[in-house]
Amino acid sequence: MTTLEAVAKAVRDTGGELRAGGTDVMTRATRPPVDLLSVPGLRGIVWRPDGSARIGALTTIADLLADDRLTAAYPALAATAAAIATPQIRNVATVGGNLLQRNRCWYLRNPAFTCHQTGGDTCPAREGAHLYSAVIDQGPCIAPHPSSLAVALLTYAATAEVHGRSPLGIAELYGDGGDPTCDHRLESGEILQAVLMPAPTPIERAAYRRATAREMAEWPLVEAVARLTLDGDTITTAAIAVGGVARTPLFLPEVADALLGKSATEETLAAAADLATARCSPLPRSAYKVALLRATLIDVLTACSAPPPPATL
């Protein structure tokens, strides 16, 4: 048993890296790990009086999926969690770890290269192999952010509760993507404790979609989450976010705005999806991601504007 403060101190003193489930940290040559798993009280879901949930940072992805109340209350989060990695990773990987993991750039993870991320002054992907890179240029590094959960949480306007600083929104947790050296904005010794969900929306329609080559178990080329509420045919609220296309997970208010007050026709959805591509400035071999971003948005919007399927036994 240890405390958050002790862990924070260990990180500051040793220059170590926090480790939760370890499914990311263990795959990298890292600074000495400082384990969080022995800190009590960080795992599990607590329901608050207003019906909202507080998700402890060490709650595993599998825990999210096993909680019927949570999956009913936050369907976009559940759909996203179900698509992450593989069963034996979801059993170990945590919510906090998913949000704060390092990106998967194949140059970053190859010891032969240095880059902006590791203190160098180049991005080998820009001039080199950038098939899977970001297409929304936010700064020197073009590694897409790996957290799928963050995409879902952006659409819920969830809040991060952090030891050592005041709570911050999910978008704030990642900033503008301009700093290539980190995948989130927490300082050394600041520890994500929990994610605070807002109270659930009663009848939302939500979906998660990812574009991949294989059926399962693959990092997305592009991923998208949409949450809509409809009054008859008319879209009354919308929240849309995407991943795989930028250094940070991205909330897309312009796409949501284009849907509000309109009926969910094919044309409306396509026109809204088009707006997302305005931000893109792809490299030669990543241009397809612009089309794929639009396609994934159309897919996810179509999925959650269609009437929900009848309940099955």
Partner 1 sequence: MEFSLNGKPVDVGVEPAETVASVLRERMGLTGTKVACGTGVCGTCTVLVDGRTAASCLLPAGAVADREITTVEGLGGDHPVQRAFAEHDALQCGYCTPGFVVEAAAFMDRWRAEHGTIKPSREQIAEALAGHLCRCGAYAGIYEAVAAACAGEHDEGTVTPVRVEALSKITGAARYTADVTLEGQLEGVIVRSPHPHAKVGEIRHDGLLAELLPPDRVVRYVGQPVAAVAAPTKAEALAVAARIEVDYTVLPTVLSSEAETIVYPTEESRKGAPRANEGPLASAKWNGNVRGPAAMSWRGRTAVKRIEKARNDGGGQTLVEATFTTAVQAHTCMEPHGCVARWEGDDLHLHLSTQAVTRVAEQAAKRWKLRPEQVHVVAEHVGGGFGSKVNVTSDVVAAVELSRLHGVPVRVVLSRPEELVDGGTRPGVRIELALLADADGGLSAFTMDGHGDSGVSIGSNAAWHSRFFYGNAPRRIRDYDHITNRAPGIPFRGPGLPPMLWALEQAVDEVALRRGEDPIALRRRWDGNAKRHALYDRASTLPMWRDRTDPGDGRLRRGVGVAAANYMYFLDPGTKVSLTVEQGAVVARIATQDIGTGSRSVIAEVVRSTLGLRSGQVRVELGRSDHAYGPSAASSCSTPSIAPAAQDAARRLRKALGARSLDEAEGLQVVGRRPRDRRGYVTPFPLDHFAIGRGFSGAVVVTEVEVDTLLGRVRPTRVWSGVAAGHVYVPRLARNQCEGGVIQGIGYALFEQRHEDPATGTVLTANLEDYRIPGIADTPEIDVYFHTEGWDHVPGRGVGLGEICTMAVAASIGNAVRHATGWRPHDLPIRPDLLLEGIGT
Residue 126, helix vs strand vs coil: helix
Of 33, 164, 169, 198, which lies in the binding site for partner 1, with binding defined by CB under 8 A?
Answer: 33
Q: Which is nearer to partner 1, 19 or 247 (CB)?
A: 19
Minimum CB separation from partner 1 for residue 289, in Å? 8
Nearest to 111 by CA among 124, 101, 99: 124
- The CA–CA distances, whole Å, from 277 to 64, 190, 280, 290, 295 equal 32, 35, 5, 6, 10
DSSP 246: B
Stretch 66-95: interaction string toward partner 1, x if CB under 8 A: -------------------xxxxx-xx---
Q: Which is nearer to partner 1, 27 or 265 (CB)?
A: 27
Helices marked H in the chain — which ranges?
4-14, 61-66, 68-73, 75-83, 87-90, 95-100, 124-127, 148-156, 170-174, 253-259, 266-276, 288-305
Of 6-14, 16-24, 71-79, 190-198: span binding partner 1 (CB under 8 A): 16-24
Of 299, 301, 304, 305, which lies in the binding site for partner 1, with binding defined by CB under 8 A?
Answer: 299
Q: In sequence order, what DSSP letters do the residues of 283-311 get, joined into one string?
A: -GGGTHHHHHHHHHHHHHHHHHHSPPPPP
Of 43-51, 70-78, 104-112, 231-239: span binding partner 1 (CB under 8 A): 104-112
Minimum CB separation from partner 1 for residue 53, in Å? 22
- The CA–CA distances, whole Å, from 234 to 2, 138, 208, 230, 240 equal 52, 34, 21, 5, 17
Residues 271-290 that bind partner 1 (CB under 8 A): 285, 288-289
Q: Which is nearer to partner 1, 201 or 212 (CB)?
A: 212
Nearest to 187 by CA among 162, 159, 216, 209: 162
- The CA–CA distances, whole Å, from 114 to 86, 110, 117, 178, 185 equal 30, 9, 8, 18, 21
Q: Which is nearer to partner 1, 124 or 177 (CB)?
A: 124
Of 16, 22, 169, 198, which lies in the binding site for partner 1, with binding defined by CB under 8 A?
Answer: 22
Of 128, 139, 164, 198, which lies in the binding site for partner 1, with binding defined by CB under 8 A?
Answer: 128
* Token pair listed for 183: 């995948």
Stretch 169-208: interaction string toward partner 1, x if CB under 8 A: ----------------------------------------
Of 46-54, 109-117, 182-190, 249-257: span binding partner 1 (CB under 8 A): 109-117
Stretch 209-238: interaction string toward partner 1, x if CB under 8 A: x-xxxxxxxxx-x-----------------
Taking every pair of C-alpha atoms in the chain, what is the biggest distance, in angstroms? 58
DSSP 176: T
d(CA 214, CA 216): 6
CA angle 59–67–60, rounded 5-degree value: 20
**Binding status of residue 270 toward partner 1 by CB under 8 A:** no
Q: Which residues bind partner 1 (CB under 8 A)?
A: 19, 22-23, 26-27, 33, 35, 37, 62, 85-89, 91-92, 104, 106-107, 109-110, 112-113, 124, 127-129, 131, 209, 211-219, 221, 285, 288-289, 291-292, 295-296, 298-299
